[in-house]
Amino acid sequence: MLIGFDLLDRQILDRDGEPVGKVDDVELTYDADGAARVTALLLGQEVLGDRIGGVLGRCIAGTARRLSGASDRPPQRISMDLVAEITGAITLSVKRELLPDPPLETWLRDHLIARIPGADHES
Amino acid sequence: MESPTSTTSRIVIAAVAVAALWAGLAYDVSRPADARRYQRTLVQAAESAHDAAQTAALVGELELAGKVTGLFATAAFDDAAKGLAGAEQKSASQGPPDSASAARRDELGPLLNAAVTALGDTTEADDDNRLRDGVGRLKDVAARLDDFAEGMR
Amino acid sequence: MKRFFAIALGVLTAIGGFVDIGDIVANGEAGARFGITHAWVLLLGVFGICAYAEMSGRVSAVSGRPVFDLVRERLGPRVALANLTGSLLVTVLTLGAELGGVGLALQLATSVNYLLWVPVVAFVLWAALWRAKFTVLENVFGLTGLVLIVFVIAFFRLHADTGGLWHQATHPGPPHGEDWGTYWFFAVALFASALTPYEVFFFSSGAVEERWNSRDLITSRVNVFVGFPLGGLLAFAIMLTSATVFHPLSTSVDSLSQVALPAALALGKLGLAAAILGFFAATFGAAMETGLSAGYTVAQYFGWNWGKLRRPREAARFHTVVLVSIVVGVAVLLTTIDPIQLTEYTLVFSAVALPLTYLPILVIANDRDYLGDRVNGRFANALGMIYLLIVAIAAVAAIPLMIVTRMGGG
């Protein structure tokens, strides 16, 4: 499997088809004989910014780190054993609720969106 | 990871390019007007004033015919006034570089004034006769502004 | 009746694309200064947007995901980021201009200065995007915008010199008093106005909001082939009436009030009211389209939850982007920049951003992973490539033309 082709930047969907995020980076673990295995998917603007590189990438990563408070917080990580299927998108075997919430979403929801009346109604 | 020196040199190149562009622009803007450019500015001012006057005349006629609301007419006259103000500003933005240009500017000045007063009277007109009179004057000054612009092309 | 509402998405997208505030004034100005010698540009634009909107709708219906969502996967994060920045800049500036446009339409009706309306309109826009159902917004603003048909009716009542007009349409070129530079500047601006990026992103995201699937391909096509030509017709009607009234008087058009005059001339107060209502609906619809489009593109790039079909609690980042975009739009307007001048500048910049938008769509529409056997046929690809070439030429020519002709002033 080519990581660049099949994994990176793909949409991650949960068991019900709800979007979880995109694969911003992957976690590689090297085993005893030096071969690399993908052990987890990493999500978050910080890792995306780091991967893109350049001035723009550093901007994104820097802003994301500042907004999420702790600048050394580890990125959101989804272990590969939660992945059920890899087709056009990457489908997980669990529901979205069981995964940790992205920090930016949580912060905005608690401090801004949830305070506006009507936040519970879809339209 | 890029080396710091290549990033620095990129920033320097970009800064130099921006400075060169800005200097070029500053030079172009501050060059004393030559007669041709000045006269083109006068033509543009005359055309803008003509457009404003002609439009205002049209609005006045529609108001007489009862085809527009008073509120709309006010908004439309406001737009025409803004157009005239822009034309006046344009014609005054530079001094004439030679006597021929000065002569043309002196020709345009009274036309612009006539347009402004005609527009003002049309906007304030509270009966049909005054409105009709204002519209007539606007059309007349629009025609003269058009002649001025044509004469200079 | 339900069938009628089924094309509302296409109609709304087209209205926001073809008769937003920039297009209304650009078509009016082109008609006044050039007669209808730019008619071919509108026709070219309609074909182009139909081709690409059909591809976008097909991608969304078959893959269940909007086009922009797929750009990052297919073309990599850097290219997609360039795409995002370019179209986001244009979209947010346009949003500001549209808010100004709604204010201007209200000024025509009430004579209250547009700047005083802007905060009110911005709030109502945000509230509509927050709570109103997507389909309700589509139907109300899409169909009300169709009131601009009044310009078609007005044309027939104006007893125009049809022979002269036909001659203008079939002999493209600058009339007396204009030169080829300004002629091509307007051609590029009108073409860019027909193919603004947010149209396709909005249409394909809207398709997902409406939950279209493979069975809705026909709906998608009807939306495209009815909606966009209708939008083009409305734009053309504005150009036509302006050419009929203002061109013979050698008068140029640069304000919304002038564009409405032919309707008043032909049909009196009723025509005027219809024109103003149409302006209001079209600019408000365009404001909705650009606001949502800003949210869609940012959220889809980063993979966030998006859409009105989700509870705002669950798409906090998406709604924040929409809110911030509206605030930025208002801020830009409060600098008292003329909204019409603002749109003219954004038209030029969107011309430059066009290839960034349309190349990815063509690539994705050929990808079997997403579309199975519904990928582009030979005809669609040929059309796509031709338009990509035209779009590239327009993008390269836009800024030089803008500089040489001083924004079309000559």
User: Quick one: average pLDDT of A19-41?
Assistant: 83
The reply to whether residue B76 touches residue C257, judged by beta carbons under 8 angstroms, is yes
User: What integer pLDDT is reported at residue C3 of this predicted model?
Assistant: 62
Residue recorded with tokens 């709570």: C131
Residue C352 has pLDDT above 70, yes or no: yes
**With 70 as the cut, is the pLDDT of residue C17 above it?**
yes
Per-residue pLDDT band at C324 (split at 50, 70, 90): very high
Residue of C nearest to A90 (CA): C73
Q: How far apart are CA B137 and CA B112, in angstroms?
A: 12
C131 vs A104 pLDDT, higher one = C131
* Torsion sign across C-alpha atoms C178, C182, C184, C188: negative
Give the pLDDT score at B75.
93
The more confident residue out of A102 and C232 is C232
**Chain A touched by C132 (CB under 8 Å):** yes
% of chain A exceeding 70 in pLDDT: 90
What are the pLDDT digits (tens) for C68-108? 888 888 888 888 888 888 889 999 999 999 999 999 999 99
CB distance C269–B54 less than 8 Å? no
CB contact residues (below 8 A), chain A span 39-78, against chain C: 43, 45, 48, 51-52, 54, 56
Give the chain B residue nearest A50 (alpha carbons).
Answer: B1
Contact criterion met (CB below 8 Å) for C142 and C285: yes
Tell me the per-residue pLDDT of C171-189, one tens digit each, with 9 for 90 and over.
888 888 788 999 999 999 9
CATH topology for B33-152? Four Helix Bundle (Hemerythrin (Met), subunit A) (1.20.120)
Please give the Cα distance from C402 to C410 (Å, whole number): 10
Decide which of 1.20.1740.10, 2.40.30.10, 3.30.565.60, 3.40.50.10490 is the CATH code for C2-404. 1.20.1740.10
pLDDT of residue C387: 94
**pLDDT winner (highest mean) among C2-11, C149-158, C304-313:** C149-158
Instruction: Judge: B72–C111 Cβ closer than 8 Å, yes or no.
Output: yes
Which of C117, C249, C272 is the best residue to mutate to test the B interface, defined by the most B CB atoms within 10 Å of its own CB? C249
Q: In B, what residues contact C, Cβ < 8 A?
A: 44, 47-48, 50-51, 54-55, 58-59, 62, 65-69, 71-72, 74-76, 78-79, 82-83, 146, 153
> Angle A103-111/A54-67 helices, nearest 10 degrees?
50
Is the per-residue pLDDT at C4 higher than 70?
A: no
Is residue A70 pLDDT above 70, yes or no?
Answer: no
Contacts 24+ apart (CB under 8 A), B146-152: B146/B46, B146/B50, B146/C250, B148/B46, B148/B107, B148/B108, B148/B111, B149/B43, B149/B46, B149/B47, B149/B50, B152/B39, B152/B42, B152/B43, B152/B46, B152/B104
Are B73 and B136 in contact by the 8 Å Cβ rule? The answer is no
Pairwise CA distance, residues B123 & B77, whole Å: 6
Residue A78 forms beta bridges with which residues? A41
C7 vs C88, more confident = C88
Q: Residue C315's pLDDT band (boundaries 50, 70, 90)?
A: confident
pLDDT at A72: 65
Q: Is C307 left (phi over 0), alpha (psi -120 to 50) or beta?
A: left
- Give me the DSSP letters along B44-100: HHHHHHHHHHHHHHHHHHHHHTT-S-HHHHHHHHHHHHHHHHHHHHHHHSS--SSHH
Q: Could you give the residue ranges of the DSSP H alpha helices within C146-196? A: 150-157, 162-170, 180-194
Mutate one of A25, A41, A106, A123 to test the C interface: name it (highest C CB count within 10 A).
Answer: A123
Q: Which tokens go with B29? A: 């803007």
The answer to whether A118 contacts C131, with C-beta atoms less than 8 Å apart, is: yes
Residue A69 has pLDDT above 80, yes or no: no
Where b means 16+ CB within 10 Å and e means fewer, C258-289 reads bbbbbbbbbbeeebbbbbbbbbbbbbbbbbbb
Question: Which of B68, B93, B138, B147 is best to mutate for the C interface (most C CBs within 10 A)?
Answer: B68
Whole-number average pLDDT of chain B:
87
Domain boundaries, chain A: 3-115
Q: Which residues does chain C have within 8 Å of residue B68's beta carbon, measured at their own beta carbons?
A: 264, 269, 272
Least-confidence region, from B48-52, B65-69, B92-96: B92-96
Taking a C-beta distance cutoff of 8 angstroms, is the pair C149, C281 a contact? no
Percent of chain C with pLDDT over 70: 99
C-alpha C84/C-alpha C91 separation (Å) is: 10
Residue C281: pLDDT above 90? yes
Q: What is the pLDDT of residues B8-57, one digit of tens each?
A: 888 888 888 888 888 877 776 666 667 888 888 889 999 999 999 999 99
C118-134 core/surface letters (b: 16 or more CB in 10 A; e: else): beebbeebbebbbbeeb
For the ranges A46-55, B72-81, C126-135, C312-321, the maximum mean pLDDT occurs at B72-81
- The C-alpha angle C124, C270, C107, rounded to 5 degrees, equals 40
CATH of domain A3-115: 2.30.30.240
Mean pLDDT value across residues C157-161: 87
Going A14 to A18 to A20 to A26, the CA torsion angle's sign is positive
* 3 state SS of A77: strand
Mean local confidence (pLDDT), A83-110: 82
| pLDDT interval class at B63 (50, 70, 90) | very high
How do residues A3-17 score in pLDDT, each as one tens digit? 556 788 888 888 887
**Most distant CA pair in chain C, distance:** 60
Contacts of C319 in chain A (CB under 8 A): 113
pLDDT at B32: 61
Q: Which among B55, B74, B153 has the least Cβ separation from residue C111?
A: B74
Q: Where are the domains of chain B?
A: 1-31, 33-152
Mean pLDDT of chain C: 90
